[in-house]
Amino acid sequence: MRKEKEERKEMTLHGQDRKEQKKEMIQFKSEDEMAKLMEVLMELAFSSYMEYKKRIVCLTGGSVAGCLILETTANVNASLQCLFTAESFCGELSYLLDNSVHKLEDTFLRCFVELSRLRKSSEVQGGISKDSLLLALIESATDINPEFTISQQNDAHEFLCHCLTQMEESGRWLGWQEDVDPRCPVRANFKFKMRNIITCSSCGSRQNKVEVFNHISLPLVHNSVDQCLYDIVNNPTVLESKCKMCGGECANSRWTFHTLPRFLILQLNRFKVTEYYTVVKLHMPVEIKPELQINCHPESDTPEIENSKAEARETDRNELGGSAATYRLISVLSHVGSTTLCGHYLSDCSSSSHQWMTYNDQRVTLTTEMDVLKMRSTSAYVLLYERVSTG
């Protein structure tokens, strides 16, 4: 799967079609060159608009094409606004792109950065609108993952995670690293490691492995976010697992944080697949906590069965000592509507001095954290937290 993705990516980067050739010619060193990029982006955006329009005409007869495009860009916009709230992350991306020595530009990264810069400015800057950048970004995402077409209501959480993955993969092409400069901002800000400890119910022997994540999915089993999270990282679940020591087939599995990210994405599982394979939305209220305390346990848990050497090396290399960290809520992405098929996404984002903004389609309005906590308890779908202190 990964290989296929990389091949597709390679085709994207080295393809012979006109658009790709144009992209390869661009290097950002002067205002002239920036203007050239804008021209190409406008063309990309226009061609993607026409392409989308063709697709929608086939599906619907065309009369709602404009509405669907607006709806899709609004949904994508809600996901992006949530990510833009991670300001230091956007700043790192912006700095890396501006100082890149690579001749190759990446449309997705460039559009993301330009949109994050335009966020607080007026609609048009340098002759290109937010909508054009948004369409170019969607087309670039569709090149990598054809699921993100305008013909269906895309899942905002999937799109948000796709953005991180696509930026990380683009960064790999640009030579961004994990441990040395230029560091990949996605890995440095969003990735974290969790340790899964599986204990045999019969003989008590342990298997122990570390996995990397960019978000946590929380089943809505309690009425507050911190309890749902506590459940994931503390309460063991029983699972079928063959023990290498005694042959036992039942084990307890539990997770602990091995490292903590700067920005933590929590997805609340509001969409549930029924036995008839339809998706229903869960409207139960969940208390959104403005602050979370999260414990991190980087120490090795003296496993009976050793990790592989590579995993052991990972174990030794920790960004944080064993401690608790405080996280502050900075953005809430909500799905407003009664079912998965109707309704749309909007996001509430913190800005400076305790002010919050609601991004809903084209409308941007002022709000407060208190209102967000109160009004989004039945619709919050993705929560973004920023680490503010490490104990």
Mode of pairing for the β-strands spanning 380-390 and 323-336: antiparallel
Mode of pairing for the β-strands spanning 237-240 and 216-218: unpaired
Contact status: 250 vs Zn ion (CB under 5 A)? no
Tokens of 364: 């941007």
Shortest spacing between CB 248 and Zn ion, in angstroms: 4
**CB-wise, 200 or 216, nearer to Zn ion?**
200
Shortest spacing between CB 251 and Zn ion, in angstroms: 8
**CB-wise, 201 or 295, nearer to Zn ion?**
201
Which of 135, 243, 329, 330 is the binder for Zn ion (CB under 5 A)? 243
Contact 114, 129 (CB under 8 A): no
Tokens of 276: 């008839």
Shortest spacing between CB 200 and Zn ion, in angstroms: 3
Contact status: 290 vs Zn ion (CB under 5 A)? no
Which of 70, 104, 233, 245 is the binder for Zn ion (CB under 5 A)? 245
Extended strands (E) in 19-145: 124-125, 128-129
Shortest spacing between CB 207 and Zn ion, in angstroms: 10
Residues 192-211 that bind Zn ion (CB under 5 A): 200, 202-203, 205
Extended strands (E) in the chain: 124-125, 128-129, 192-200, 206-213, 216-218, 237-240, 250-257, 263-268, 271-273, 279-281, 291-296, 323-336, 344-350, 356-360, 363-367, 380-390
**CB-wise, 252 or 318, nearer to Zn ion?**
252
**CB-wise, 103 or 242, nearer to Zn ion?**
242
**CB-wise, 85 or 207, nearer to Zn ion?**
207
**CB-wise, 94 or 205, nearer to Zn ion?**
205
DSSP per-residue string spanning 276-299: TS-EEE-----BPPSEEEEEE--S
Tokens of 340: 């998965």
> Angle formed by the axes of helices 130-144 and 2-14, to 10°?
130
Contact status: 238 vs Zn ion (CB under 5 A)? no
Q: Which residues bind Zn ion (CB under 5 A)?
A: 200, 202-203, 205, 243, 245-246, 248
